[in-house]
Chains A and B, each alone.
Chain A
Amino acid sequence: MFEYAPAPESREIVDIKPSYGLFIGGEWVDSQGENHHKTINPASEEVLAEVAWATEADVDRAVRAARAAFTTWSALPGSERAKYIFRIARIIQERSRELAVLETLDNGKPIRESRDVDLPLVAAHFFYYAGWADKLRYAGFGRRTTDGHSGEDPRPLGVAGQVIPWNFPLLMLAWKIAPALACGNTVVLKPAETTPLTALAFADICRQADLPPGVVNIVTGAGETGAALVNHPGVDKVAFTGSTEVGRMIARSVAGTGKRLSLELGGKAANIVFEDAPLDQAVEGIVNGIFFNQGHVCCAGSRLLVQESVADEVLDALKRRLSTLRLGDPMDKNTDIGAINSAAQLAKIRELAEAGVNEGAERWSPACPIPERGFWFPPTVFTGVAQSHRIAREEIFGPVLSVLTFRTPAEAVEKANNTPYGLSAGIWTEKGSRILWMADRLRAGVVWANTFNRFDPTSPFGGYKESGYGREGGRHGLEAYLAV
């Protein structure tokens, strides 16, 4: 293996303030509470900034601001709303390098990924939904059950309370805010407690775009802030991306309120490799499936199902490939695997990996120097995994792959579907009819065939079963923000 010279991205481009307030009604305001929290760089444990943890009173203020803004925002011609959202998309492109660096500093993901994947998708998502804002009557939702009339523009829902995770902080913000605004809703968004900085930078982008005050409000905080937002009676729509456990709590608390709800939750995707697959490509797909973004991906291909006849060959190639992955400084442009986002997440990954060993699976990692400071976990492969093992059933949300084998396509389907989740799946084979046969039978919302972890604003994303409900992206994504 070649030695690489360090190629660090400069952090000069970002200007992080020592402390941040809340973005409510178009202004930076101080929290009414005393609770502040330091957000750190998970690769160095260096403190980046201090942010407020919004209280119930702060959330109430934000929801009121959103409600006040809703009247005028929803009454704007769609073409005017579209122009605001196009402006936002443009500013994101203009400030894309800065946002990528900020994302990597706060999240720990490699700069190569935030620069080449997250930020382009963020801008594309705003561009895509901007174009819908004045075309909603053509989206096919016009005909109403209650009155039987057609032709009316579908109406927005009102104030959307949105709670997003830390794995793709700005991208998840885009997935939530872009369709909500295009449909004429106003939003209060709570970023994850460990990754608030790009959402706060987004607040500044809203100001640069002259977005009317109160249309977008950002309240930082942890679970309590999120609960205050979800349970606020002034919220008409709740959108959540995160764990199935929290999704359940939210579904329960929304019961009986009439609030609309969309949930994008956990996954335990099977990535299925048949003996006739293009194995070199499949190995790249396996690596991309589970080690992209340190495995902090709800649709990660965390269960590799490989046909028995090629299991040894695939595993040898996979191990060779993993030995060339570079783990370390996320700001280095050559880094493949960055830092685990938080100490808490690292502890969870360690616990599940230990459970894998204790339950009898065989653990393997490449020789991989681990930096002294920060939160790190080496790429890890478990073989000899049984379906009953925790590492085959529970979402690890880390760079840990569980390998199982199968003999027949029917067995592959049986094993792939043997999970309460149903977010995504992968199929690797050169046989077209088999791809379609498999895709038909896999109970998952996204199926990648001979590829993995592809995303696009035009492509609906979301799960079956306990992976949640509703779709984000595409025409389907509008439905979550319209009174249809």
Chain B
Amino acid sequence: MSERLAVRKTYKLFIGGAFPRSESGRSYAVTSSKGDFLANAAKASRKDARDAVAAARKAFPGWSSATPYNRGQILYRVAEMLEGRRAQFVAEVVDADGVTAKKAGELVDAAVDRLVWYAGWSDKIGAIRGAANPVAGPYFNLSTVEPTGVVAVVAPPTGPLLGLVSVIAPVIVTGNTCVVVASERAPLPSITLAEVLATSDLPGGVVNILTGSAGEIAPWLAGHMDVNAVDLTGADADVAVRCEELAAENLKRVLRPPLDRIDWLADPGTDRMTAFLETKTVWHPIGV
């Protein structure tokens, strides 16, 4: 008896909670680290990028006003869903990165743990970043943090799952919504992660994922006037400079690419959250 022929998955984009193909009809061949054909991924167009920004903007009021407790629970739910698909992600990371199954298992476990770690930050970041300010006068004065808005994220080219989770979680846990440009070379785990996100009670549009040419898509997002911030972690040096220049047009907050290679297994610290937070200070007189 012949071996059963596998049913392959079509990898599409993730916009507003749905999985559309690129409106341009473009796709590109994705290969494993050994050069074997894996799948055709969608090659997002400028229109796709704009649609993704519109979806992220639409999702922002609801997500940013959800209680931190609720956001934390949803991130924890993402971790649960990821854990349940462990074997699938191990296989995809082995294909994408060429690492051993054992190493891939460690990376997937770390991605799950990273989500759990960030989930717990949702209702604590305000306590360490806010302040009651002792002004010299009869005023109540309180500083609190709020999400910046729509963040465009250029995911790292390496670490197709752990790196990706490590840039998405800190952006959304505080109430931002995002448009993520997936690793160009290894985009497939990002779309599988989208399937996890789509089944984790995460409202549609909070995370939108585009696959394709990062050099094309990132500048479109960096120049988009309804994007509030850009995370250039995964951008090549020349693309990053171009994006930073474009970001100046509406004074986007910019998280520049790291100077050294990031160890995604290390303690991430709070910087990736605080880069996309605004501080609001409210004054009120005290009197009878």
Contact = CB atoms under 8 A, between A and B. Distances in A.
Contacts of A393: none
Contacts of B267: 145, 148
A255 B244 contact: yes
Contacts of A67: none
A439 B268 CA distance: 32
B202 interface: no
Given A255-B244, A256-B241, A445 B251 contact: no
A365 interface: no
Interface string B228-270: 1000000000001100110111110100100110000011111
B227 to A, nearest CB: 11
B133 A474 contact: yes
Contacts of B128: 140
Interface stretch (B79-87, B109-117, B280-288): B280-288
B279 A449 contact: no
Interface stretch (B2-10, B136-144, B152-160): B136-144
Given A450-B284, A459-B135, A148 B279 contact: no
B278 interface: yes
Given A145-B268, A446-B283, A454 B228 contact: no
Secondary structure class of chain B's binding surface, majority of residues: mixed
Contact of B251 (A145, A447, A448, A468): A468
Nearest to B225: A420
Given A148-B266, A255-B248, A439-B282, A458 B134 contact: yes
Interface string A234-249: 0000000000100111
B277 to A, nearest CB: 11
Contacts of A254: 244
Given A244-B251, A265-B251, A474-B131, A460 B281 contact: yes
A78 to B, nearest CB: 21
Contacts of B259: 258
Contact of B136 (A145, A447, A450, A456): A456
A475 interface: yes
B36 interface: no
B279 A445 contact: yes
A439 B244 CA distance: 31
Contacts of A444: 280
Contacts of A143: 269-270
B131 A464 contact: no
Contacts of B283: 446-449, 451, 454, 459
Contacts of A140: 128
Contacts of A461: 281
Contacts of A263: 251
Interface magnitude class on chain B: 35 or more
Contacts, number: 116
A476 interface: yes
A450 B278 contact: no
A471 interface: yes
A11 B238 CA distance: 56
Interface string A441-484: 00011111111001010111110111111010011100000000
A251 interface: yes
B269 A459 contact: no
Interface string A405-449: 000000000000000100000000000000100011000111111
B276 to A, nearest CB: 11
A254 B247 CA distance: 11
A468 B228 CA distance: 11
A476 B145 CA distance: 11
Contact of B278 (A420, A445, A449, A459): A445
B280 to A, nearest CB: 6
A243 B128 CA distance: 32
Contacts of B148: 464
A445 B283 CA distance: 11
Nearest to B259: A258
B244 A462 contact: no
18 contacts: A145-B269, A244-B251, A247-B251, A248-B249, A255-B244, A255-B248, A265-B251, A435-B284, A440-B65, A445-B280, A446-B282, A454-B139, A456-B139, A459-B133, A462-B279, A467-B251, A469-B251, A476-B279
Interface of A: 124, 140, 143-146, 148, 244, 247-249, 251-252, 254-256, 258, 263, 265, 420, 435, 439-440, 444-451, 454, 456, 458-462, 464-469, 471, 474-476
Interface pairs A-B: 3 shortest CB-CB = A251-B248, A256-B241, A255-B244
Given A265-B251, A469-B251, 6 more contacts: A252-B245, A440-B65, A447-B281, A464-B148, A465-B228, A465-B251
